[in-house]
Structure 1
Amino acid sequence: MPHREPIALTVADAGELMTVQRAAIVSELRAHRDLDLPPATETLDEVRAVFDDPVWSVWGIRDEGRLVACVRIRDDGDAVWIARLMVAPDRQGQGFGSALLAAAEAHFPASARRARMSTGSAAEHQLKLYARLGYQETHRIPQSGYEVVYLEKVLDD
């Protein structure tokens, strides 16, 4: 069983985070027939800038030293925005995404009452995972041949 404790990532992890992100997004690029999804087009400077923005925290899971999963959390006061939950392709389906999302929830600010996220409508595996973890669809917005699905979870006090 791999070690699944999340760690706070730093700007020193930006290149490795970008590598995981680029590898993990390939299946969604294919499914959505859209090569311009933000995780695929984000530059290394843009990734580094996230670490300099105090409203964002970046978490990851390492297995035997290798970054295998990562997620970004933005503090919006009474809500948090979950972005770029990514798992390396060779580690998908092994519980890393679930473990990282659950651990991230445990680190949400005390003021957070809701957690929000979005994904593409063709991301069926992710939609099932998010539903299983208590996230409910709130709405969809059409986007270049697919829909962006917005989800929300009410957090316990």
Structure 2
Amino acid sequence: MAQSDGVRIDVIGVDHVGELLTVRRAAFVTEAQLYDDPNIPALTQTLDELQVDLESDDVVTLGAWQGHRLIGSIRVGIDGDKATIGRLAVVPDLQGQGIGTQLLFAVLGHLPESTKEVWVFTGQNSKHNIALYNKAGYDHQFDQVAGDLTYAYLKKVLEAGAVVSDDLDDNAVRGDN
């Protein structure tokens, strides 16, 4: 469990599934407005689907808390030596204060040692999110069309023994992926 600036980061269990659903939906409204699409996956996932995701052995979901309030989350799926980050979300009233950056770096400490690369995807027009990922060492690899949306895929190669730094600015992290 990591803690800094009054923010505690820890794994989210199924006992917080309702709060997590609420945080994600609030955070992803901005993305839905950007893309004029209220049906992005983060907004259409059901409570039951989210609970199944939280119970999966191949998924780690971290939450950021201030006191008893869940204020952000990040999800990482693990597949062999590859991890894929998704659903980085920070509540609207606290976006831009570094919480997303803290989550982005904290998740690296929850990956298996065998993880060699971490992928993240976001909407191609989500310029603030792409800038955040670039500052955190993720490089753009390709874009992919999925329905009406085009996603940008970015990758970070993990080096054995590398020191991870979290001293980045957090530019208005909105709901993502």
The TM-score range, normalised by the shorter chain, is over 0.9
Residue 88, structure 1, aligned to residue 91, structure 2: yes
What amino acid is aligned across from residue 156 of structure 1 in structure 2? Answer: E
Would you say how many aligned residue pairs link Structure 1 and Structure 2? 157
Contact kept in structure 2, 1:28 and 1:122, CA below 8 Å: no
Q: 130-139 or 3-12: which moved more? A: 3-12
Give the 5 Å matches for 1:1-157.
2-157=5-160
Write the distance in 2 (CA, Å) between the matches of 1:111 and 1:74.
14
1:112 is paired with a residue whose SS is: coil
1:34 is paired with a residue whose SS is: coil
Runs (4+) off by over 4 Å? none
CA-CA distance at 1:105 after TM superposition: 1.0
Alignment gaps of 5+ in structure 2 = 161-177
Write the distance in 2 (CA, Å) between the matches of 1:9 and 1:21.
13
What amino acid is aligned across from residue 150 of structure 2 in structure 1? Answer: E
Over aligned residue pairs, what C-alpha RMSD do you find?
Answer: 1.3
What amino acid is aligned across from residue 7 of structure 1 in structure 2? Answer: D
CA-CA distance at 1:5 after TM superposition: 3.4
- Post-superposition CA distance 1:91-133 (Å, at most 9, x none): 1000000001111112211010000111101211111100000
Contact kept in structure 2, 1:115 and 1:155, CA below 8 Å: yes
TM-score (norm 2): 0.85
Write the distance in 2 (CA, Å) between the matches of 1:84 and 1:97.
11
TM-score (norm 1): 0.95
Alignment gaps of 5+ in structure 1 = none
Write the distance in 2 (CA, Å) between the matches of 1:125 and 1:16.
25
